[in-house]
Each structure stands twice: as C-alpha cells, then as structure tokens.
C-alpha cells in the first residue's frame, strides 16, 4: 500500500515531485521517499534489517536456481534458443537472399528511425552540409575559420549558449506567461 502526495517542483519549469509513503512488508513500518515519476516500482525499505533480509533471500534464490540447473544438467538459456528468435532470423535471411537487401536493421528498438537510407549522392551532400566550402561561403569565412569553428562546435564550446526560459518567461510554474495590461472598449459611432 502506498500513499502519494504531490510536491511543488524544485526549480522553475522543473518536473513535478511526489512524496510516496509505503509500508514495508517485512517490518510493517512506514517509510517515504521523493520521486519525479509514479510509474517506477516502489523502493525497498531503507532499514538495515530489511536490506539484509532481502540480500539473504536473493542469495537463497540464486542457490536454488544453481541447484536446479545442476540437477537438470542444463545450462541457462542462450540467445537464439527461442523459436520466435529463430523465425525472425530465418525470415531476415530469406528476405536478404530473395530481394538482395543486405542492410536490414536487426536491432530495431523503440524510437529508432524508420526512414530509408539516402542514396549515396544525397548522403554525401547531407554529410557535407555543415563542413567544407558551403559553410564558409554562406557566412563569408575562409577555410581556416570554418575548420576552427567546426572543431570548437565538436568540442562542445557552444553547448551552454541556450537561454534559460525563466529569463524570458517570468513567474512561477503554472502561471500564464502573458498578462493583460489594459483593455479598452470602443463605442460604436452613431450612423
């Protein structure tokens, strides 16, 4: 069982904070902690006895797993032993052979881009957009200046040049950034 209390952010435009109060299942005593998300699992009890008991339970669980593996004479599972993994690998192999596609993404994760690769000529233009002659001509700089600016940017010289939103938008979080200074009502002129 846990109770949640909403706290104000620590700084302007900071994330909301939550004080989460839990009750330990071992010692039955309440404890609390502050978090910025509610989706993470509850933290373990901070008391020393509970931590030691959890560590001992983990050691016993590992010992049981090792004894079961030794009794079965079977090592833990390997990547690729799963039937689904084998099916995906076989499908990729067939697609590569039949359609000549050798650049399939095999480690696609959530958030990866799905845009197709550019043709070589366009990729070369995209790679050279921020370097070389084009930047120097655009900003009126010679090659030496362009190389120096590229080296500074790569080294992170411009990373702290962003403006703090608190400077531009005054007030506290949740307040409207614009205020009404004055309003006038214009009367209709008689016809």
Total of domains in the chain = 3
The answer as to whether 191 is a domain residue is no
Q: Are residues 101 and 135 in the same domain?
A: no
Q: Are residues 61 and 99 in the same domain?
A: no
- Which pLDDT does position 76 carry in this prediction? 73
What average pLDDT does this structure show over 33-62?
Answer: 90
28, pLDDT greater than 60: yes
- Which pLDDT does position 80 carry in this prediction? 60
Q: Are residues 30 and 60 in the same domain?
A: yes
Among 72, 94, 128, which residue terminates a domain?
72
Residue 22 CA to residue 17 CA, distance in Å, equals 16
Q: Are residues 8 and 68 in the same domain?
A: yes
The answer as to whether 177 is a domain residue is no
Residue 20 CA to residue 180 CA, distance in Å, equals 39
The answer as to whether 45 is a domain residue is yes
Q: Which domain holds residue 153?
A: 116-158
Residue 86 exposure: Cα atoms within 13 Å on the Cβ side:
4
pTM of the model: 0.37
Contact 26, 53 (CB under 8 A): yes
Residue 18 CA to residue 47 CA, distance in Å, equals 21
Residue 7 CA to residue 15 CA, distance in Å, equals 10
């Amino acid at each position: 069982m846990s109770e949640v209390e909403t706290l104000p952010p620590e700084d302007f435009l900071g994330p909301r904070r939550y004080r989460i109060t839990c009750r330990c299942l071992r010692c039955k005593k309440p404890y609390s902690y502050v978090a910025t998300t509610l989706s993470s699992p509850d933290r373990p009890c901070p008391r020393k006895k509970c931590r030691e008991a959890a560590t001992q339970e983990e050691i016993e669980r590992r010992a049981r797993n090792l004894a079961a593996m030794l009794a079965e004479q079977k090592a833990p599972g390997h990547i690729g032993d799963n039937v689904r993994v084998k099916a995906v690998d076989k499908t990729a192999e067939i697609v590569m052979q039949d359609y000549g596609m050798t650049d399939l993404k095999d480690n696609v994760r959530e958030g990866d881009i799905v845009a197709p690769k550019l043709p070589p000529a366009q990729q070369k233009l995209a790679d050279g957009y921020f370097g070389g002659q084009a930047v120097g001509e655009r900003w009126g700089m010679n090659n030496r200046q362009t190389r120096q600016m590229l080296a500074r940017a790569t080294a992170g010289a411009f990373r702290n040049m962003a403006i703090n939103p608190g400077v531009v938008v005054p007030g506290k979080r949740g307040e409207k950034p614009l205020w009404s200074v004055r309003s006038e009502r214009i009367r209709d002129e008689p016809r």
